[in-house]
Copies of this chain bind each other. A is one copy, B any other.
Amino acid sequence: METIQVRTKEKQDFPEITGAVREKVRNRGWQDGVLFIFVPHTTAGIFINEHADPDVVKDISALADRIIPEEFPCRHTEGNSPAHAKSVLFNNSLYVIIEKGDLVLGTWQGIFLAEFDGPRNREVYLKFMTDGG
């Protein structure tokens, strides 16, 4: 298993990690299989979406706040339950197919960490399973 370190910079921050993931895949020589990408945090998530225009993830961030407003009354005394709920909605894991040593992604797709309770130091786990192809 490999780990990527990500420093998030704001309360809500969606840094792209496609390059860091691709670098690990190349360094390890992973060829053909499936790469599992898992976030071990409960107020962060991970998603795939457009990385060409950075305004897209800004809009997604604004929509996340519309769906789950920060001012929602919490029982949890830390008061960050909106961040926990966003983590559930965005999901804390995904996978990417690997072929010929590279990520199989659509033209517009990039991988983003979703920070909902930053800024913090976050970790992303990478686990590769090969089919021997």
Contact = CB atoms under 8 A, between A and B. Distances in A.
Interface of A: 1, 33-34, 36, 38, 40-42, 47-50, 53, 55-56, 58-60, 62-64, 66-68, 72, 74-78, 81-82, 84-85, 87-97, 99, 104-109, 125, 127-131
Given A38-B97, A93-B94, A95-B36, A72 B76 contact: no
Going nearest first, the 10 A-B pairs with the smallest beta carbon separation are A40-B106, A59-B81, A55-B75, A63-B85, A42-B50, A55-B76, A97-B127, A42-B108, A47-B88, A60-B85
Nearest to A87: B49
Contacts of A53: 76-78
A18 B25 CA distance: 30
Contact of A129 (B34, B50, B58, B68): B34
A18 B92 CA distance: 16
Contact of A97 (B36, B67, B85, B87): B36
A62 to B, nearest CB: 8
Contact of A127 (B34, B47, B55, B58): B34
